[in-house]
Amino acid sequence: MEYSPGLRGVIAGETSISTVGEEGTSLRYRGYDATELTRNNTYEEVASLIINDSLDGDQFKLAFSKFYEDASHDDWLTKIINNLKEKGLHPMDVLRTIVSSSKELDSDTQIELAARISATVCFIIASYHEDETDELSDDYLVASSLMPNGSDSHMLEALDDMLILYAEHGFNASTFATRVTASTRADLTGAIVSGIATLKGELHGGANERAVELVNSFNNTDEAEIGINELLKQKKKIMGFGHGVYKRQDPRSPIVKDWVTKLAKSESSKNRFEIAKKIDEIMDEKKNLFPNVDFYGGLLLAELGFDVSIFTPIFVAGRSVGWSAHYFEQREQDILIRPAAKYTGK
């Protein structure tokens, strides 16, 4: 049996949910080009597509609204969130802990189960805003649940696009962890917690935090050029570049970069964007590596007013519907995932 480190290139299952990296660049959700979905559809419609194979987002919107409203009136939930925040836990740890206590009803449809998880995640993230977040937009429902009341429509649209691009991405580490848990016939909540725990790692969802921290460590493009070249000389990994599946370009990155271009208005934002582009240029010239969604994604989330610690939870807000879809698919296949290992001991 041939060994492939990290299961690279190994077909570990069958799925009808998405294809990633075909022709070196593409991303499709149930046959639809994900980049086109950002132009023509909302996150709620895409969530329905991923879970139900339908672009009619009304059921997801109805369920999400109900569960978000329920969460906003749940005094126990608010108390637990505040207690965990007071302990100084990272928001991803708060998410993981609270989502693990989420209830599931036998009467819930798949859309309702996914929407319940999504609403819980979004309510927890919203609790980190100092401003009120209780006015939901019918146009950008999930995005508006994450932003302060009265947020500009362009900012909501940008976040909606980000959520769509985060929604699904094949058998990545967190999704595979979700499917492994699902394969044991565990409940959806347990599988989602597996996904959250895996996504926190800096080689996965946490890369957006590291990428922005790198950009923020430089005051100008000259410093960035010197600093990045020094890091490369030391053979340090530069977060936010290259991809394990895409060979020529991450199709999500240009969309996110375009939004940063549109939203970066202040001098400090423009300077940060110039620094990011300089790093991008150096990585292309010196390493022939392209930026993935995490690199400019972190900059976009910063422009939208999110603290760096909330970047990966926003990833969860988008990806939870993808995890849910993979959970349902794996349960339907009902095959326990149990790979072999290559023994290297004595």
67 and 147: one domain?
Answer: yes
pLDDT at 269 > cutoff 90: yes
Percent of the chain with pLDDT over 70: 99
Predicted confidence at residue 24, as pLDDT, reads 65
CB contact at 8 A, 46 and 164:
yes
Domain harbouring 173, CATH code = 1.10.580.10
φ/ψ bin of 155: left (φ > 0), alpha (ψ from -120 to 50), beta (otherwise) = alpha
User: Minimal CA–CA distance to 166: which of 324, 327, 317, 325?
Assistant: 317
91 and 156: one domain?
Answer: yes
pLDDT range class, residue 105, cuts 50, 70, 90? confident
106 and 146: one domain?
Answer: yes
pLDDT tens track for 181-209: 999 999 999 999 999 999 998 888 888 88
- Alpha carbons 344 and 346: distance in angstroms, whole number: 7
pLDDT at 114 > cutoff 80: yes
Predicted confidence at residue 11, as pLDDT, reads 87
Predicted confidence at residue 272, as pLDDT, reads 94
pLDDT range class, residue 129, cuts 50, 70, 90? confident
Strands (E), the chain: 18-20, 27-29, 32-33
Domain harbouring 278, CATH code = 1.10.230.10
188 and 221: one domain?
Answer: no
Q: What DSSP state is assigned to residue 32?
A: E
Question: Which of residues 288, 303, 318 is at a domain's end?
Answer: 303
| Interior angle at CA 125, CA 172 and CA 123, nearest 5 | 110
Which residue, chain included where needed, has tokens 């609403």?
Answer: 119
64 and 110: one domain?
Answer: yes
- Alpha carbons 293 and 254: distance in angstroms, whole number: 8
195 and 50: one domain?
Answer: yes
Q: Going edge to edge, which strands form the sheet with 18-20?
A: 18-20, 27-29, 32-33
Predicted confidence at residue 1, as pLDDT, reads 67
pLDDT range class, residue 130, cuts 50, 70, 90? confident
Q: Enumerate the β-bridge partners of residue 32.
A: 29
User: Minimal CA–CA distance to 299: which of 216, 220, 230?
Assistant: 216
pLDDT tens track for 43-96: 999 999 999 999 999 999 999 999 999 999 999 999 999 999 999 999 999 999
Each residue of 7-22: b (16+ CB within 10 Å) or e?
A: eeeeeeeebebbbbbe
175 and 76: one domain?
Answer: yes
94 and 234: one domain?
Answer: no
pLDDT tens track for 142-187: 999 999 998 999 999 999 999 999 999 999 999 999 999 999 999 9
Structure tokens at 169: 């991405």
CB contact at 8 A, 34 and 40:
no
φ/ψ bin of 55: left (φ > 0), alpha (ψ from -120 to 50), beta (otherwise) = alpha
Catalytic residues: 204, 243, 294
164 and 36: one domain?
Answer: yes
Predicted confidence at residue 135, as pLDDT, reads 85
pLDDT at 38 > cutoff 80: yes
Neighbours of 207 (CB within 10 A): 24
pLDDT at 132 > cutoff 80: no
314 and 297: one domain?
Answer: no
Q: Enumerate the β-bridge partners of residue 18.
A: 29
- Containing structural domain, residue 269: 207-303
193 and 324: one domain?
Answer: yes
